[in-house]
Amino acid sequence: MSSYPSYPPNLTAEQLSYLITSFTDYSLSHGLIVRPAPTFIPTNPSNSLATPAPVTLWPSPFPRTHFEEARSLQPFCNLLYARVAADQSWLGDLSTSLSLVDDFISKLWAIHTRLKSENGYHHKYSLGLFRSDYMVHTSDSEFAPLGIRQVEFNTIASSFGALASKVSDLHRYLWRSGAYPPTADYINDLSLPRNEALERLAEGLAKAHEVYIQDVSPDAKYTLETAASVGPNSSYGIMFVIQDGERNAFDQRWLEYHLTQKYGIRVFRVTFEEIRKYTHHVRPNYELLFVPPHAFDGRKQQVYEISVVYYRAGYGPGDYPGQEEWNTRYFLEESRAIKCPTILTQLAGSKKVQQVLAEKKNLEKFMGNERGEEGIVERIFETFAAIYPMDESEAGLKARKLAFEEPHRSRRAIKDERKLQ
C-alpha cells in the first residue's frame, strides 16, 4: 500500500533509543497518558501512577484524498444518526426485535418507553459527540484504487478525541526536534495535519451548556463569551458520568480543563453510585441538582444545576451490575439536563442499525432528500463495509455461508450489538 521504499525506516540502536526517549518524555510531559493496568493498583494506593498511552511511534500513512473525504463526510454522518435517533418508529421496530435476544438493548428501550408513558421527557435538546472509525480498503487486484471503509460509528462515550489531538502534536514534535531520522523526509508539516478534536468536542459541550442556561434562565443573558471573562462562578455545571477506576481518565480530563479554562465552566466527574448519593430532581421541571461533597466550608453547601450529562460510562452491561444502576440511568434520562447522548441516540449507534443502514434503501430514507445533500447517499454508501446479520434472513444465511468458506472466513469479524468495553 505504501509508496515509500521503507516505512517506517530502519533505525540504528542509537536512533531508536533517542526516538523512544523523546516519545516517552513528551507523552509524560504533555498528558498523553493513561493510568496503569489493575495489576499495579496494590503498588499505587494514591492513584498517582501513569504511563504513556499506547500510540504509534510513527505517523501512519493514509491517502490524503481519502482522509479529506472522511473529514468532509463527518457532518453528514452526524446528521444521519441524529435523524435515525429522531425517528422513534423506525428505531423502535429495530430495538424491539433486538430486545428479544439482547437484554441490554431491551432495558435501554424499556427506559425510553417508560419515560414516554409516564412523565415524558423533560429535556428540549440533546447533544451528540460522535466518532467514525475508518480503515483503508484494498482490493485483491493491485490495480484497483484504494478506498475507505467505515469500521464502526460510535454515538456514546466516544473516547480518545483529546488524546488523539496530543498524538498529532507528538508526531509533529518528533519531526521538528529531529527525533525522526533525516531519511524520513516525507514526514513534514504538510503531511501531519493538526487534530482539533479536543477543541471541537469541548466546544460542543460548551455550546450545549450555553443553550441550556439560555433556555431555563433567559433573563440572565448568559453567553459563553461573558462567562469565560468572569470565570467559573456560575451555579451551573456539566456532569461527566464516569466508571469507577477509569484508566482513560486523562482523555476526559483534557476536556474538563478546556471547558474550565476557555469557557469558565465547572465540570463534575461522578459515578453512578455518587449520582445516587449527591443528586436530586426539582419538580415540576425536573432540574438536576448536584451537591458535591467537597464543596462544603462547614457552614454552606454549594448546589449546582447540571446543564449537560455527558456519558463516559453506561455504554455496556458491565456498567449496570444491578437494578440500582438502571434506576440511576432512568433518573438521569428523566431530568431536564441535556444528555450526551440520549437513550435513543445510544440505540442509534448499535451495530444492528449500522447493518440495516448498509442497505441503500434504508440509507436513502434518511439522507439525500434535502438541499445540499445531492450525491451524499452514494458517497456515504461507498464507505460502508458489507455487514451481515446472524439471523435466519437471506442476508443472515449468506453470512453463515461466508463464515465457513475460505477465503472469506479469515476476512470477517464478529461484532457485538453494543459498544465494546
SS3 341: coil
Predicted pLDDT of residue 417 = 60
Where are the CATH 3.40.50.1760 domain residues in the chain? 196-340
Where are the CATH 3.30.1490.80 domain residues in the chain? 1-60+160-195
Burial class (CB in 10 A: 0-12, 13-18, 19+), 110: middle
- The shares of helix, strand and coil residues in the chain, as percent rounded to the nearest 5, are 45, 15, 40
Which is nearest to 304 in space by CA: 237, 239, 240? 237
Domain 1-60+160-195 has CATH 3.30.1490.80: yes
Predicted pLDDT of residue 411 = 63
Spatial distance between the Cα atoms of 32 and 169, rounded to a whole number of angstroms:
10
Q: What is the CA radius of gyration of the chain?
A: 23
Domain 196-340 has CATH 1.10.3720.10: no
Predicted pLDDT of residue 112 = 98
Q: For the chain (length 421 residues), average pLDDT per consecutive 10?
A: 70 97 98 86 72 95 95 97 98 95 96 94 96 89 83 96 97 97 90 97 98 91 79 84 95 98 96 98 96 81 95 98 98 98 97 93 93 92 85 73 66 61 38
Predicted pLDDT of residue 1 = 45
Residues found in the chain: 421
The strand pair at 33-34 and 51-52 is best described as: antiparallel
Residues 391, 126: contact at Cβ < 8 Å? no
Instruction: Tell me: is residue 351 an annotated ligand-binding position.
Output: yes
Give pTM, 2 decimals.
0.92
Spatial distance between the Cα atoms of 404 and 390, rounded to a whole number of angstroms:
13
Predicted pLDDT of residue 398 = 75
* 363-397 per-residue burial string, b: 16 or more CB within 10 A, e: under 16: bebbbbeeeeeeebbeebbebbeebbbeeeeebee
